[in-house]
Amino acid sequence: MSSLSARLLVSVSVLLLVFFGATIVVLDTAFVSAGESAREEILDGYLMQLLAAAEPAADNSLTLPIDLVESRFNAIGSGLYAELEGADGAPVWQSRSALGLELPMGPEPPPGEQVFTRSELGDGTPLLGLSLAVQWEFGDGELVPYVFRVYESLDAFHAQVANYRGQLFGWFAAVAAIMLLAIALLMRRLLSPLRRIESEIVEIEEGGRAQLSESFPDELAGVARNMNLLIDSERARSDRYRYTLDNLAHSLKTPLAAVRSLLDESGDRVLRERLDEQVGRMDDIVRYQLRKPAAGSQVGLAPVPVAQEVEKLVNGLRKVYREKSPEIAVDVAPGMKFRGDAGDFLELAGNLLDNACKWCRARVSLSIRPANGGRRAASGLQLVVEDDGPGIPEEAVGALTNRGVRLDESTPGHGIGLAIVREIAGSYGGELEIGRSQLGGAAIRVLIPPLSG
């Protein structure tokens, strides 16, 4: 998970889940406990009603009326049941609501003490029971033990608990969703400076901005300031390289011109041709090596419009190879831009096109596409040059990218073109591949990866 917003949102979601989960458990436990206590108090009230309704008979026995004050005792299957047990533990009276039911035999409590129990009817209906053992004293002083029992079905209570839990989860889920939405909106607002930094860095990479702006919060002001210092330092270093190398190139230009002039005056034609070739090679190497230290410095460079530069190259090559007149097919993706130094792109495309025109029979093909599937044309570049020439043997592919290596010494050149291409591509993190073209000759592919995702 690479998004900071997503990480924060997931972290907050986990915390809310833990907090709300604990809260739900506490509230649910409190509700169930309070409900059970209320049921016990209600049963205690029912038991007191039974005690108040009990009347002694002439034969020193207790009797209870058929109809009790609580109407649920009088309705069959109402869920509220009562029973009176005698000294032998056998029921001597049951409420009308217990008609046809076998109430569970609970433990006999100590005299004068109330005991709550949980049991079930034969059909599995859960019951909460309350028992009270008494020693009933009759008029002649005789003490007879009795046990009063009251039972209530817990089905209604469990349904109430289930309904409460459903509402509890529903309300907490709604509250959690609202809180997450509010937190997401808040984070979007709080993280907007980070998105602004990202967009400004992209503008700097594309050459549309020189520095990051300074209107950032205190936590990011130091980052923006240090980034601006780094950009200024990098730009100043590139300028120093450029000025120094320009001066050096200018200084070397005159001696090389003087050497060529002296060669023209020499009477030895063979020696003049050989030395002129080496001077030309020195000139090419010096020009490239003088530019090389600044290669790869892409901070603040304006993107190079690929189509325009390719058109210039093709027009120039058609003049150079006017006698051969190769057919050069160009296919450049709309809006393609090279994010780097314009000279580097000209070296890449120019060397490959020149080699293709030099070795082709009649056809050359150039294709330039984004390297990242076409999402952003300025993020990367895939350049493929093909020809219908003799091609490059597989065993010679590795050696051809070394400086000074040539397949045919009879063809003019210095043998550094592919080496230059490979080195420039490497300075941008790219690579060079040599294969077989569908046209019959060589196919050379240069891949420059995107600077960012």
Collapsing DSSP to helix, strand or coil, 310 comes out as: helix
Structure-block tokens of residue 289? 């090596």
The Cα–Cα gap between 364 and 337 comes to 22
Please report, for residues 18, 46, 55, 77, 84, the alpha-carbon distance to residue 151 in angstroms, rounded to integers and kept in the order given.
39, 9, 21, 12, 12
Question: What pLDDT is attached to residue 285?
Answer: 56
Structure-block tokens of residue 175? 């509250």
Look up residue 361 and give its amino acid: R
Question: What pLDDT is attached to residue 197?
Answer: 81
Structure-block tokens of residue 252? 């070397």
Ramachandran bin of 424, using left for φ above 0, alpha for ψ from -120 to 50, beta for the remaining angles:
alpha
The Cα–Cα gap between 64 and 68 comes to 8
On the 0-12 / 13-18 / 19+ scale of CB atoms within 10 A, 54 is middle
Question: What pLDDT is attached to residue 403?
Answer: 47
Question: What pLDDT is attached to residue 420?
Answer: 79
The Cα–Cα gap between 121 and 55 comes to 29
Look up residue 152 and give its amino acid: E
Question: What pLDDT is attached to residue 265?
Answer: 66
Please report, for residues 17, 23, 36, 314, 438, the alpha-carbon distance to residue 29 in angstroms, rounded to integers and kept in the order given.
18, 10, 11, 82, 77
The Cα–Cα gap between 329 and 377 comes to 21
Contact 103, 128 (CB under 8 A): no
Look up residue 270 and give its amino acid: V
DSSP code per residue over 435-448: EE-TTSSEEEEEEE
Could you tell me which of 54, 37, 133 has the C-alpha nearest to residue 95? 54
Could you tell me which of 365, 369, 368 has the C-alpha nearest to residue 328? 365
Contact 439, 385 (CB under 8 A): no
Contact 327, 318 (CB under 8 A): no
The Cα–Cα gap between 282 and 101 comes to 114
DSSP letter at 246? H
Contact 376, 450 (CB under 8 A): yes
Please give the backbone phi and psi of residue 314, each rounded to the nearest 5 degrees, phi first. Answer: -65, -40
The Cα–Cα gap between 23 and 29 comes to 10
Query: Which residues of 113-211 form beta strands (DSSP E)?
Result: 114-120, 126-137, 143-153
The Cα–Cα gap between 347 and 350 comes to 5
On the 0-12 / 13-18 / 19+ scale of CB atoms within 10 A, 450 is middle
- Partnered with residue 137 across adjacent β-strands are 143
Structure-block tokens of residue 76? 């069959």
Please report, for residues 217, 256, 263, 266, 404, the alpha-carbon distance to residue 272 in angstroms, rounded to integers and kept in the order given.
69, 14, 5, 7, 20
Divide the 453 residues of the chain into consecutive groups of 10 and give the mean pLDDT of each group: 77 89 92 92 92 85 86 90 87 88 84 89 90 87 89 92 92 90 86 82 76 79 82 77 68 68 66 66 60 51 83 87 88 86 84 89 91 58 90 70 48 56 83 88 88 52
Structure-block tokens of residue 209? 């901005």
Question: What pLDDT is attached to residue 331?
Answer: 92
The Cα–Cα gap between 452 and 379 comes to 7
Length of the chain, please? 453
Collapsing DSSP to helix, strand or coil, 152 comes out as: strand
Please report, for residues 93, 110, 133, the alpha-carbon distance to residue 89 in angstroms, rounded to integers and kept in the order given.
12, 14, 11
Contact 343, 312 (CB under 8 A): no
Could you tell me which of 305, 298, 295, 286 has the C-alpha nearest to residue 425? 295
